[in-house]
């Protein structure tokens, strides 16, 4: 095997940008790259290890010999070690052997590796991103729709457990058939994948990442994942990825103490150790670390055509005292608890993402009352496109968990979200977090007999889809999965042999189609101009009525929700205009496993004042149901 040849892909300008934390395509230079040097094909390696005594490449090509292929340290103080090894090919296994100043000998995977061995094996693999894309029509339409109101009906998926063949998870290419067909059938606009980046421990759900630049090899190659993205785009479905810049695991082959020092993480455990997840926290104040993270975000948008990133655990990044007791955290330089470095990083990440890819979306999973999460950075916000509406989720599930006879005493819980619904660009999440750790499936939150439980679930989804904001539903919720989600098994697809489950699935399918087809539900979903109460004070009957409004008044919708199992005949609601009001959705229809006894068809408005309006309609309000009317 040939010896290492001194060679560099870096220019002086590259190094300047890297040191300043602003080289947002650094993945084009760092890591392993198949190139040709002076007529010889091989692999160029580069790694950041500024405090190492020496660094060498070990692998299956040199019998993991630590002396055979040493890299050279650059002269410019960048801390980068590099070199070219002729003769190596795609598929070569490798790691970096790092001799630390402390005398330690470390074997580390490549932080920028494009592909890894299937866990529990831990070697990086020389690979490329070559792929012929066929999603040009999707990308063109995405660009045309940038900045315009659009529906986001998101199906949240854990790839390894969505569906299984026996005990085996589906591959990326199998998902490209089964999952794509299902998403089309169910009318979801987007799929959101729990982290696909390589992670050593399957039960972490992907949130403990070691291979930030590599789709997990459990389901195939990077090209197989590209094929899945391509097929989704060709089917008109967008892809969001969960992205985890908040923390990383301390596995020996990963980023922790990478060159024998606290390189990517803070050295002080009061800043650098996460007590909840027993993981390391990034040093957001270090330029090279910010560079690593921001370039990683852009990498998925660039090389994999991803349409958006949902950033995990933002609250844990914003606050120095997150999950810490007094004395376990260090105040910032102003004496406060805000993590100023993390705030700066998040603003920079969002600014660069939207500058480079103005037609994608960033979404924050942020559970506190932090102001301006989805406001522009130039206005003092964090710059996200949307934020999860955790308060809505908690209040809604708490309300629906109550016996229907007691709901009138908790009416404020179901109306409270509209007090702050337009302070952010909110996404309404019923996510994986709500069906794990003993919480049980959503159907188990619903009170009453079997019919009432399923009617309640349909009612909750009807309320969710007509409430302002975009939508997210975790897999299995769309057909009333009856057991808590488990990393060990696939979804209970056999439940669809039964009417109640098939009815919920049909309801979600039609809600998705309705949401996308009705501008009144998404044109002004982040503005108070898109919502108007008709009746929010009828606590005695536990009924809500409201208008959803778009640009055209004739497209406005009247939504009425009955949160009790009492059928209300001759129910009257004020309407904003005379004419005929047609019932366009009714969760009590037979197709949804409802009674089918209380469909209203078209109702003519009477000139009878009601709810402060000149005209009103009278109809039958079904039990535990959402009904929607439209003028005309």
- Residues taking part in catalysis: 312, 365
| Category of 166 on φ-ψ map: left (φ > 0), alpha (ψ -120 to 50) or beta | left
Q: Report the C-alpha gap between 547 and 575 in whole angstroms.
A: 9
Element (H, E) at 224: helix 222-234
567 backbone dihedrals φ, ψ, rounded to 5°: -75, 130
HSE value, Cβ hemisphere, 13 Å, CA-based, for 221:
12
Check if the beta carbon of residue 506 is closer than 8 Å to that of residue 187: no
Q: Report the C-alpha gap between 528 and 76 in whole angstroms.
A: 55
Q: Are strands 308-311 and 93-100 parallel, antiparallel or unpaired?
A: unpaired
Q: Who contacts 594 (Cβ-Cβ below 8 Å, separation ≥6)?
A: 455, 458, 503, 586, 587, 588, 622, 625
Q: To 10 degrees, what angle do helices 172-186 and 222-234 make? A: 20
Burial (Cβ within 10 Å: 0-12, 13-18, ≥19) of residue 148: exposed
Of 471, 142, 427, 182, nearest to 306 (Cα)? 142
Joined tokens for residue 232: 């989704």
Q: Who contacts 226 (Cβ-Cβ below 8 Å, separation ≥6)?
A: 129, 131, 133, 304, 305
Of 493, 495, 503, nearest to 459 (Cα)? 503
For the chain, what is the total number of helices (H) and then of strands (E)? 14, 31
């Amino acid at each position: 095997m040939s010896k290492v040849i001194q060679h560099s892909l870096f220019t002086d300008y590259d190094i300047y940008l890297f040191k300043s934390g602003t080289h947002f395509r650094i993945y084009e230079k760092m890591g392993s790259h198949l190139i040709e040097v002076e007529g010889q094909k091989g692999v160029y390696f580069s790694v950041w290890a500024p405090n190492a005594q020496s660094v060498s490449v070990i692998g299956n090509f040199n019998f993991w010999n630590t002396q055979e292929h040493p890299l050279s340290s650059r002269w410019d103080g960048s801390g980068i070690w590099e070199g070219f090894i002729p003769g190596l090919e795609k598929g070569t296994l490798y790691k970096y052997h790092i001799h630390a100043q402390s005398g330690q000998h470390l074997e580390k995977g490549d932080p920028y590796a494009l592909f890894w061995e299937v866990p529990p094996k831990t070697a990086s693999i020389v690979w490329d991103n070559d792929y012929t894309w066929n999603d040009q029509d999707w990308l063109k339409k995405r660009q045309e729709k940038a900045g315009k109101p659009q529906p986001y009906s998101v199906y949240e998926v854990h790839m390894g457990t969505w569906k299984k063949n026996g005990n085996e998870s589906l591959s990326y290419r199998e998902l490209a058939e089964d999952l794509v067909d299902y998403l089309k059938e169910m009318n979801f606009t987007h799929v959101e994948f729990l982290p696909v980046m390589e992670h050593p421990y399957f039960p972490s759900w992907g949130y403990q990442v070691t291979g930030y630049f590599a789709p997990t090899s459990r389901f195939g190659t990077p090209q197989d994942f590209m094929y899945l993205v391509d097929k989704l785009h060709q089917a008109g479905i967008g892809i969001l990825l969960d992205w985890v810049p908040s923390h990383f695991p301390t596995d020996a082959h990963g980023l922790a103490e990478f060159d024998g020092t606290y390189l990517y993480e803070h050295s002080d455990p009061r800043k650098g150790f996460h007590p909840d997840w027993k993981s390391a926290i990034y040093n957001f104040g270090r330029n090279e670390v910010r560079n690593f993270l921001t370039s990683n975000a852009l990498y998925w948008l660039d090389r994999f055509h991803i349409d958006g990133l949902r950033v995990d655990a933002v609250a844990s990044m914003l606050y120095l005292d997150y999950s810490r007791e007094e004395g376990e955290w260090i105040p910032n330089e102003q004496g406060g608890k805000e993590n100023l470095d993390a705030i700066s990083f998040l603003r920079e990440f969002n600014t660069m993402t939207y500058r480079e890819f103005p037609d994608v979306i960033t979404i924050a999973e942020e559970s506190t009352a932090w102001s301006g999460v989805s406001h522009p950075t130039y206005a003092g916000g964090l710059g996200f496109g949307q934020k999860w509406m955790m308060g809505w989720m908690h209040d809604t599930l708490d309300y629906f968990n109550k016996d229907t006879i007691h709901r009138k005493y908790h009416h404020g819980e179901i109306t409270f979200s509209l007090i702050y619904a337009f302070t952010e660009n909110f996404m309404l999440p019923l996510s994986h977090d709500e069906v794990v750790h003993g919480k049980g499936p959503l159907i188990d939150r619903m009170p009453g007999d079997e019919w009432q439980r399923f009617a309640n679930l349909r009612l909750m989804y009807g309320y969710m889809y007509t409430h302002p904001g975009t939508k997210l539903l975790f897999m299995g919720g769309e057909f009333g999965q009856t057991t808590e989600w488990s990393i060990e098994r696939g979804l209970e697809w056999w439940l669809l042999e039964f009417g109640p489950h098939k009815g919920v699935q049909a309801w979600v399918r039609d809600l998705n189609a309705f949401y996308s087809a009705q501008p009144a539900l998404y044109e002004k979903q982040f503005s108070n101009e898109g919502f108007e109460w008709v009746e929010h004070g009828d606590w005695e009957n536990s009924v809500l009525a409201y208008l959803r409004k778009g640009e055209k008044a004739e497209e406005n919708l009247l939504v009425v929700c009955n949160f009790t199992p009492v059928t209300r005949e001759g129910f009257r609601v004020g309407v904003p205009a005379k004419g005929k009001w047609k019932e366009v959705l009714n969760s009590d229809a037979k197709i949804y496993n409802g009674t089918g006894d209380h469909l209203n068809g078209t109702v003519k408005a009477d000139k009878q004042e009601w709810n402060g309006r000149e005209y009103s309609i009278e109809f039958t309000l079904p039990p535990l149901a959402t009904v929607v009317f439209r003028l005309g």
